[in-house]
């Protein structure tokens, strides 16, 4: 595990974008999987800017959506698909055929999971995944206690995740389930980047990187990833 600490969120966004662009330039046609959430927004915008400067071709790779809130779709502000479409897929002009999404409105969640697994397998597994950490240590929607099941699945959302979700939706929404690529599958990604910022995350960063490896802190499982870079701002790293 390599740990890189920078001054602030802006610097972090630029550095992570550069790392991802370099990866894409060296690995066209690989499959990548990016977390939504607040942390990567600046980084995603930076990637789009880099593409406009012809420093990377973001349509040269394939995309798998990491996770989604069950019951929410593209019309819903704060859904993962809405964020990724507005901030990244749209502005970067990524062809639809390059992207495989979870449909949070489809009641056939089992079918959604099997389709995502097929997409991942058809593209040779995940080449690079960019992950964030939830306040409870979740990765994607792999909540504390999620066992090592292969593939994708639905998960009952933890109370912490439900209360934090208000920041995405701007109001309370009754979300209780998430659909996600499982952590076992994410652990098979050939390269993983964990991006974290802000003082509020400092305790969970410490538990994830320095604490026991346990399903109770899903991010800690990535201590055993074969090629993990943790990229943090100073505030998130303050307890390390
Ligand atoms: C979102 C996702 C989540 C977030 C995590 C951190 O697609 O996978 O695991 O990465 O909840 O969210 P922010 O960045 O909003 O603190």
pLDDT digits (tens, 9 = 90+) for 116-145: 999 999 999 999 999 999 999 999 999 999
- Indicate whether 167 belongs to any domain: yes
**Segments forming the whole domain that contains residue 180:** 2-233
Q: How far is the CA of 28 from the centre of ligand 1 (A)?
A: 26
31: tokens are 């499959």
- Indicate whether 239 belongs to any domain: no
Q: How far is the CA of 132 from the centre of ligand 1 (A)?
A: 5
Q: Check pLDDT > 90 for residue 173.
A: no
- pTM of the predicted model, to two decimals? 0.97
Q: What is the pLDDT of residues 212-236, one digit of tens each?
A: 999 999 999 999 999 999 999 999 9
Q: Are strands 2-6 and 228-233 parallel, antiparallel or unpaired?
A: parallel
Confidence of residue 147 (pLDDT cuts 50, 70, 90): confident
**Residue 90 pLDDT:** 98
**Residue 115 pLDDT:** 98
Confidence of residue 170 (pLDDT cuts 50, 70, 90): confident
Q: How far is the CA of 195 from the centre of ligand 1 (A)?
A: 10
**Residue 208 pLDDT:** 98
129: tokens are 């995944």
Q: Check pLDDT > 90 for residue 152.
A: yes
Contact 43, 19 (CB under 8 A): no
- Among the listed residues 138, 142, 185, 233, the single catalytic one is 138
Q: Check pLDDT > 90 for residue 171.
A: no
* 136 classed as catalytic: yes
For residue 196, what are the β-bridge partners? 232
Please list every protein residue whose CB sits less than 6 Å from any atom of ligand 1. 35-39, 66-67, 80, 132-134, 138-140
In percent, how much of the chain has pLDDT > 70? Answer: 100
- Indicate whether 143 belongs to any domain: yes
Q: Check pLDDT > 90 for residue 84.
A: yes
**Total domain count, the chain:** 1
- Indicate whether 99 belongs to any domain: yes
- Indicate whether 240 belongs to any domain: no
Q: How many residues are there in the chain?
A: 240
- Indicate whether 153 belongs to any domain: yes
Q: Residue 43 belongs to a domain with what CATH number? A: 3.40.50.1360
**Residue 211 pLDDT:** 98
Closest atom, ligand 1, to C-alpha of 131: 10
Contact 157, 141 (CB under 8 A): yes
Measured at the CA of 230, the angle between CA 226 and CA 233, to 5 degrees, comes to: 175
* 143 classed as catalytic: yes
Question: Which residue is it, tokens 């912490």?
Answer: 160
Closest atom, ligand 1, to C-alpha of 132: 10
Question: Which residue is it, tokens 């400092």?
Answer: 202
Question: Which DSSP helix (H) or strand (E) runs through 130?
Answer: strand 126-131
**Residue 148 pLDDT:** 86
Which of 170 and 180 is assigned the larger pLDDT?
A: 180
Rounded Cα–Cα distance for residues 208 and 205 (Å):
5
């Amino acid at each position: 595990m390599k740990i890189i600490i920078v001054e602030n969120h802006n610097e972090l966004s630029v550095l992570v974008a550069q790392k991802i662009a370099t990866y894409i330039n060296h690995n066209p046609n690989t499959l990548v999987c990016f977390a939504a959430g607040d942390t990567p927004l600046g980084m995603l915008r930076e990637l789009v800017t880099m593409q406009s400067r012809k420093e990377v071709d973001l349509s040269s790779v394939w995309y798998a959506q990491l996770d989604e809130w069950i019951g929410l779709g593209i019309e819903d502000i704060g859904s993962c698909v809405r964020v990724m479409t507005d901030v990244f897929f749209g502005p970067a002009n990524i062809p639809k055929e390059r992207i495989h999404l979870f449909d949070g409105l489809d009641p056939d969640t089992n079918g959604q999971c099997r389709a995502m697994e097929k997409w991942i397998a058809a593209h040779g597994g995940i080449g690079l995944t960019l992950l964030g950490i939830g306040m409870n240590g979740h990765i994607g929607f792999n909540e504390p206690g999620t066992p090592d099941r292969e593939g994708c699945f639905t998960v009952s959302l933890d109370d912490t995740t439900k209360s934090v979700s208000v920041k995405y939706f701007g109001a309370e929404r009754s979300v209780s389930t998430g659909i996600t690529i499982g952590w076992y599958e994410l652990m098979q990604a050939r390269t993983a980047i964990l991006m974290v910022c802000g003082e509020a995350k400092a305790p969970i960063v410490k538990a994830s990187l320095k604490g026991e490896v346990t399903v109770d802190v899903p991010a800690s499982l990535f201590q055993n990833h074969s090629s993990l870079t943790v990229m943090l701002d100073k505030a998130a790293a303050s307890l390390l």
